Amino acid sequence: MIILGLDLGEKRTGVAIAKEGHIFGRETISGWGNYDELLEQVRGVIDGDRIDNVVVGIPKSTSGDAEGKVTNIINKLESDTCFKFHTIDETLTSVEAGRRHFNAVGENNGNKDDNRESAKIILEDYLAHKSHND
């Protein structure tokens, strides 16, 4: 089974793929601020990598604003790709991604690597949750 993990953002989206027991960070793609480009790129990854499952991180906040925006984008992507998207709480994935990036290179400037790393963490959490519930 090949699973696509997405860390949706307004400006850019982190992408990771779980395949044969390994998680690979991929290039970042467009964010939901440019929906048409995001849709085209997500379709390209789904088709090109023969994706079986998609999981997207949902930001949780007290106001629910970010959660609502991302949920709306996910619903639109599901409709436009005819593909079911699974969700998982992405609380603190950006913090963890920044920590991992800082540890790897000794600095952290909030760059695209953090988006890719966040997508990897979303996949790790999803797979851990799934194996725990199986």
Q: Which fold does the domain 3-133 belong to in CATH?
A: Nucleotidyltransferase; domain 5 (3.30.420)
User: Mean pLDDT over residues 4-9, rounded?
Assistant: 94
d(CA 14, CA 90) in angstroms, rounded, equals 12
More confident residue, 115 or 11: 11
Mean pLDDT (whole number) for 73-87: 95
Q: Which amino acid is at 119?
A: A
Of the pLDDT bands very low, low, confident and very high (cuts 50, 70, 90), residue 130 is confident
For residues 106 and 88, the model is more confident at 88
Q: Is the pLDDT of residue 56 over 90?
A: yes
In the structure, what pLDDT confidence band is assigned to residue 41 with cuts at 50, 70 and 90? Answer: very high
pLDDT of residue 100: 64
Least confident of 62-66, 69-73, 104-108: 104-108
Average pLDDT over residues 3-27: 94
- pLDDT at residue 34, rounded to an integer: 96
Residue boundaries of the structural domains of the chain: 3-133
The residue behind tokens 């930001």 is 59
Per-position b or e across 15-26, b if 16+ CB within 10 A of its CB:
bbbbeeeebebb
Share of the chain above pLDDT 90, in %: 57
